[in-house]
Amino acid sequence: MRYAIPGVVLVGLIVLFSVGLYLNPREVPSPLIGKPAPAFSLPLLADGTTYTAQDLKGRPLLVNFFASWCVGCQVEHPLLLRLAQRDGVEIVGMDYKDTPADINDYLKRHGDPYRRVVEDAQGTAGLDWGVYGVPETFVLDAGGTIVYKQIGPMTEQVWQEKIRPLLKERG
Amino acid sequence: MMKQSLVLILALWLGTGAALAAGPQPEDSFAADVQGSLNPAQEARYQALTRELRCMVCMNESIADSTAALANDMRMQVRKQIIAGRSDAQILKYLTDRYGDFVLYNPPFKRLTLLLWLGPLLLVLLALALALAFVRRSHRRSKAVTVNEQALKQLLDENRPS
């Protein structure tokens, strides 16, 4: 009985800290969830024509911020290829702080899962979208509203458990 | 001889001091990547704002201290917007709209941050309550000790050295 209160406190702290251990401190909730995709007007990698946030409307899709210099992007790249081929997901790539030569080389080497690749050479769209570390993937519904943000490499688990149900329900 | 070397040391010391003062300060090297100059009042605002904003990549560094590319972009934004005549509040809103309250080192007081702000106060109150309970209990216990004076006297008498 003497040790009841310290015991309860100890167990409480153990639970609190072990939950904390499994949280990812890098996952900062985006204030953009539930808001329309921030505007941008940038050239496409393919032909230099202008692509804007308006062009993202009309169907659900993924907007993936990536770069040739980004290691995490190579980790998720096979999955993106699989999503594009197997599930027919439309992925728009935002090439963050990169050069056309480098990204063309990268896509040639690793394959190209993107319906469109937009050149965000200065990272201005990245700043407006609140990107702080590539890869980051935004899930947009048909109305162009951001419904989910994946920080860091996408995984099969995240796709199956979070993103696919969202796309189904919004699509 | 003694005097000469003393003068030499003094000259060297002053010399390095002057060289250090003239050399690039960390803030200057960061500022160099942004065009446009700030007047002293604007510069003070710039310094204060960049110290208040978190570098989202490094997490535990302000954008004033960080050399990360993103911190550089954010500093550039702050500088640009100061030059454009936007207020501190407008600039902070611009960044929280994109990165959330986490970008601020000084989080706002609202429902979501209630525990953050009032948590320490709650802990102090809890500690005070516990301390009070502890003191009361030990006080009560000390009162409960009653002395059987007769027995004590007898004990003392028995053990008195003869």
Task: Encode chain A in three state secondary structure.
Answer: CCCHHHHHHHHHHHHHHHHHHCCCCCCCCCCCCCCECCCCEEEECCCCCEEEHHHHCCCCEEEEEECCCCHHHHHHHHHHHHHHHHCCCCEEEEEECCCHHHHHHHHHHHCCCCCEEEEECCCHHHHHCCCCCCCEEEEECCCCEEEEEEECCCCHHHHHHHHHHHHHHHC
Place B28 in a pLDDT band, splitting at 50, 70 and 90: very low
- pLDDT mean values, one per 10 residues, chain A (171 residues): 86 92 79 91 93 92 94 94 92 94 95 95 92 92 92 92 84 59
The span from the CA of A117 to the CA of A90, in Å, is 11
3-state helix, strand, coil split of chain B in percent (to 5) is: 70, 0, 25
pLDDT beyond 50 at B85? yes
CB B94 within 8 Å of CB B57: no
CB–CB of B69 and A123 under 8 A?
yes
CB–CB of A130 and B99 under 8 A?
yes
| Interface A:B, Cβ pairs < 8 A | 36
Closest C-alpha to A107, from A121, A93, A97 = A93
Give the pTM. 0.73
Does B37 or B45 have the greater pLDDT score?
B45
Please compute the mean of the pLDDT values over residues B84-102 and round it to a whole number.
91
pLDDT beyond 50 at B26? no
The whole-number pLDDT of residue B17 equals: 42
Name residue B153's amino acid: K
| B97 touches A at CB < 8 Å | yes
pLDDT digits (tens, 9 = 90+) for B129-144: 999 999 998 888 777 6
Q: If contacts are CB pairs under 8 Å, which of residues 54-93 in chain B contact chain A?
A: 56-57, 59, 69-70, 73-74, 77
The whole-number pLDDT of residue B25 equals: 39
Closest CA–CA distance from residue A85 to any residue of chain B (Å): 32
